[in-house]
Structure 1
Amino acid sequence: MKGKILDFNQESRSGVISGDDGNRYNFDMEQWKGSVLPKVGNKVDFAAKGENAEAIYIETLVAGGASKKIAAALFAFFLGAFGAHKFYLGYTKQGVIMLLVFLFGFILLGIPSAIIGIIAFVEFILYLVKSDEEFEQTYVIGKKPWF
């Protein structure tokens, strides 16, 4: 069955999944089959057994996670000062901010433009050092727009 994690408590290492059938299922870490901790919003595939979920697998990383990471990193490296990687990841507001600061930065002797370029380069490095799962969780599912 497919579903989405509604709640996860790290202290008790348990949580709740909302199944696509409209029911809620409890789970604990013994049933989690992923390599990273579950997070609220993760899409999962699981087996329902009464009110509990068993054999829970994260569903977010199919084949597109790695390619989205590499493409975003390349955009950040080559066109990052223009905010291209932000637009690619769906962060339109942040992309517009980067683009405008870069373009209008030349009025102020290019200092804001250089800062935007440095920010884009830092994001390029961050994108590359994160695993595919971390990238997917942080920037695609978690929608973290900066660093």
Structure 2
Amino acid sequence: MRGKVLSFDNYTGQGLISGDDSVRYSFSQADLMGGARSVAAGTTVDFEGSDGIARSVYVLHTGLADKNKWIAALLTFFFGVFGIHKFYLGKTNAGIIMLICGTIGWILVIPGLAVAFISFVELIIYLFKSEQQFHDDYVAGDKSWF
């Protein structure tokens, strides 16, 4: 059966799926198949459902809430010192910090150099993380730095 993920909590490992049959099914992280460790709300999944419990949950199509690591890497490369990649990933506070340090921070030199170094390190990390690790850390998780 197919359905859409309504919610998934990375900390408890519990989630809820709305099936095509209009029934809601609960699932746990152990039910995720195909190497997935987390799933975003809005993701289309295929699963075996019975008695309100989903088993063997396979991700078919990620929802619009997912962010692409390659776009984040490009934004980091071109606009990293301004924190644009942080805003793209939904990490607004980190984005504001980088924006301030990347613009008026150059007056003191050190803050500007610091955000340039941070954006370079983050670019390397984004490029070498797998899609799943990137999603787990920066999209589903609340990792804002490195």
Asked if these proteins are the same fold (TM beyond 0.5), I'd say yes
- CA displacement at 1:120 relative to structure 2: 0.5
Deviations 1:96-131 (A, max 9, x none): 2111112222222x1111111000011101111111
Paired residues of 1:60 and 1:136 also in contact (CA < 8 A): no
Structure 1 residues 7 and 49: alpha-carbon distance in aligned structure 2, compared to 1, 3 A threshold: farther
Aligned to 2:135: 136
Aligned to 2:82: 82
CA RMSD of aligned residues (A): 3.2
Paired residues of 2:10 and 2:141 also in contact (CA < 8 A): no
Paired residues of 2:4 and 2:42 also in contact (CA < 8 A): no
Aligned to 2:126: 127
TM-score by length of 1: 0.73
Aligned to 1:47: 48
Say whether 1:112 aligns with 2:75: no
- CA displacement at 1:24 relative to structure 2: 4.4
Aligned to 1:146: 145
Structure 1 residues 144 and 5: alpha-carbon distance in aligned structure 2, compared to 1, 3 A threshold: same
- CA displacement at 1:41 relative to structure 2: 6.4
Tell me the percent identity: 34
Structure 1 residues 140 and 49: alpha-carbon distance in aligned structure 2, compared to 1, 3 A threshold: same
Q: Which runs of 5+ in 2 are unaligned?
A: none
Paired residues of 1:72 and 1:88 also in contact (CA < 8 A): yes
Aligned to 2:8: 5
Equivalent-residue separation in structure 1 for 2:29 and 2:89 (angstroms): 32
User: How many residues in Structure 1 have an aligned counterpart in Structure 2?
Assistant: 139
Equivalent-residue separation in structure 2 for 1:7 and 1:88 (angstroms): 21
Q: Which runs of 5+ in 1 are unaligned?
A: 10-14
Paired residues of 1:61 and 1:133 also in contact (CA < 8 A): no
